[in-house]
Amino acid sequence: MTGLFEKTTINGMNLKNRFVRSATYEAMAEPDGTVKDQLCSYMEELSRGEVGLIITGHSHVAREAQAGPRQMGIYSDAMIDGLKRITSVVHENGGVIAVQLGHAGQHGIGKEEYTALGPSDVFEAGAKKASAMTADDIKRTVIAFGDAAERAVKSGFDGTQIHAAHGYLLSQFLSPHYNKRSDSYGGNLENRARLLLEVYKEIRQRVGKSFPVMTKINSEDFLENGITVKETIELAHMLEDRGMDAIEMSGGTFESGKLIPSRVGTSKSEEREVYYRKAAETFKKEIRIPLILVGGFLSFNVVQDVVASGLADYVALSRPLIREPNLISRWADGDRTKAACISCNKCFSTLSKKEALHCVIEKKKNEKKIVSDSL
């Protein structure tokens, strides 16, 4: 039986267990994306919590690629010293960390000097929100991902993950919901996957065969005319054939209604904790490279079954680790009670208030305790 706490490797990256911290936007960097103390402390806390593999929040590979304020960047060599601080503190605690490389595409937060770009023009209320990428834009973006991957190696990261999910740039190109192009980057899946495959090829050429490169993709978009499970499996075959080291499967976009990547509400049954079970079952029947599965996990026996049954090779968590950074060490020590997270998504509401990522409920609980202890 495959165990949650057994040691494994992904292309030479040694992991102490099968738990992954799924990339989560922390909003703990400087306005320009440079690492600051708060982000280092947060990663240190995760590494002390015995997470097998920490994946950073999506790090923008170019200025126009920024998805949100105070998002960590990796678009300049000037950022390497700060990034080294993160990898050093994680390694000092026996942790392993990969950086997620991302581009917001049409969802770029946009400044006057940086126009939001996407596969196709986007208009809102009669105003142009994003411009379709030209051939030069595409070439520049591919190079930006490659440059960022080189910085990841120089910064001491143990691997990289290409963010091609959740309706950001590479996901936009993959999805016919967003991609209306009529050139070699639009139309059939082979064309829509072209940018992702070019990005992967560029990264692999830069970092070599022995450096772990992973990607995160949607099982499906849950949008009208979005990418389907069938196409996702075809895409996984393309990635596997080209040497991708692992795939993380998620689903949905932030326009997918109740089926957004971080669904609201604690699952009423343990079976419903596994958001993308059917897609994962299809994946494991056809694809040989490791599958990291994210989506709704809260119960130890659920994640144990997912790995033991072969539904996935690794399980990834996001919100539960926001509330309990020590969740994995708690489970490893024998306390197998359910994660304290209630999937309320209040943690993400803090970002719009110009606050760093945190669990609102846990913060209030701690503040009450401090007041109580002082009485």
pLDDT digit string (tens) for 344-355?
Answer: 999 988 777 788
Q: For residue 269, what pLDDT is reported?
A: 67
Residue 367 banded pLDDT, cuts 50, 70, 90: low
Q: Classify residue 3: in a domain, yes or no.
A: no
> Which of 162, 277, 265, 139 lies closest to 212 in space, CA to CA?
162
Dist CA 35 CA 32 (whole Å): 9
Q: Classify residue 95: in a domain, yes or no.
A: yes
Q: For residue 115, what pLDDT is reported?
A: 81
Q: For residue 304, what pLDDT is reported?
A: 96
Kindly report the backbone phi and psi dihedral angles of residue 71, in degrees, each rounded to the nearest multiple of 5, phi listed first: -80, 140
Long-range contacts of 277-281 (CB under 8 A, 24+ apart): 277/311, 278/229, 279/219, 279/220, 279/229, 279/232, 279/249, 279/251, 280/219, 280/249, 280/311, 280/312, 281/311
pLDDT digit string (tens) for 251-280?
Answer: 999 999 999 999 888 666 677 799 999 999
Q: Classify residue 2: in a domain, yes or no.
A: no
Q: What is the mean pLDDT of the chain?
A: 94
Greater confidence, 32 or 1?
32
The burial of 93, by beta-carbon neighbours within 10 Å (0-12 exposed, 13-18 middle, 19 or more buried), is given as: middle
Residue 375 banded pLDDT, cuts 50, 70, 90: low
Greater confidence, 127 or 122?
122
Dist CA 191 CA 224 (whole Å): 19
Q: Classify residue 303: in a domain, yes or no.
A: yes
Dist CA 87 CA 82 (whole Å): 9
Q: For residue 268, what pLDDT is reported?
A: 60
Number of domains in the chain: 1
Section 77-86 average pLDDT: 98
Q: Is the pLDDT confidence value at 14 over 80?
A: yes
Angle between helices 194-207 and 135-154 (to 10 degrees): 40
Q: For residue 365, what pLDDT is reported?
A: 82
CB under 8 Å to 112, separation ≥6 — which residues? none
Maximal CA-CA distance, the chain:
69
Report the SS3 class of residue 97: strand
Report the SS3 class of residue 152: helix
Q: Is the pLDDT confidence value at 1 over 60?
A: no
Q: Classify residue 350: in a domain, yes or no.
A: yes
When mean pLDDT is compared across 244-253, 324-333, 360-369, the lowest value belongs to: 360-369
Q: Is the pLDDT confidence value at 12 over 90?
A: yes
Q: Is the pLDDT confidence value at 85 over 70?
A: yes
Q: For residue 49, what pLDDT is reported?
A: 96
pLDDT digit string (tens) for 184-226?
Answer: 999 999 999 999 999 999 999 999 999 999 999 999 999 999 9
pLDDT digit string (tens) for 290-345?
Answer: 999 999 999 999 999 999 999 999 999 999 999 999 999 999 999 999 999 999 99
Dist CA 31 CA 147 (whole Å): 21
Q: Classify residue 20: in a domain, yes or no.
A: yes
Dist CA 152 CA 235 (whole Å): 25
CA distances from 200 to 31, 260, 293, 311 (A): 28, 26, 20, 26
Q: For residue 294, what pLDDT is reported?
A: 97
CB under 8 Å to 91, separation ≥6 — which residues? 97, 156
State the CATH number of the domain containing residue 83: 3.20.20.70
CA distances from 199 to 81, 125, 160 (A): 25, 33, 12
Kindly report the backbone phi and psi dihedral angles of residue 6, in degrees, each rounded to the nearest multiple of 5, phi listed first: -85, 155
CB under 8 Å to 131, separation ≥6 — which residues? 115, 116, 117, 118, 121
Question: How many CB atoms sit inside 10 A of residue 282's CB?
Answer: 17
Section 236-251 average pLDDT: 98
Section 152-176 average pLDDT: 98
∠ CA 328-330-334, rounded to 5°: 115
Q: Classify residue 1: in a domain, yes or no.
A: no
CB under 8 Å to 115, separation ≥6 — which residues? 64, 108, 130, 131
Dist CA 319 CA 27 (whole Å): 15
Q: For residue 371, what pLDDT is reported?
A: 53
CB under 8 Å to 225, separation ≥6 — which residues? 175, 176, 177
Q: Classify residue 275: in a domain, yes or no.
A: yes
When mean pLDDT is compared across 61-75, 119-133, 336-350, 353-367, the lowest value belongs to: 353-367
Report the SS3 class of residue 124: strand
Containing structural domain, residue 160: 8-374
pLDDT digit string (tens) for 89-99?
Answer: 999 999 999 99
CA distances from 214 to 176, 200, 239 (A): 23, 9, 10
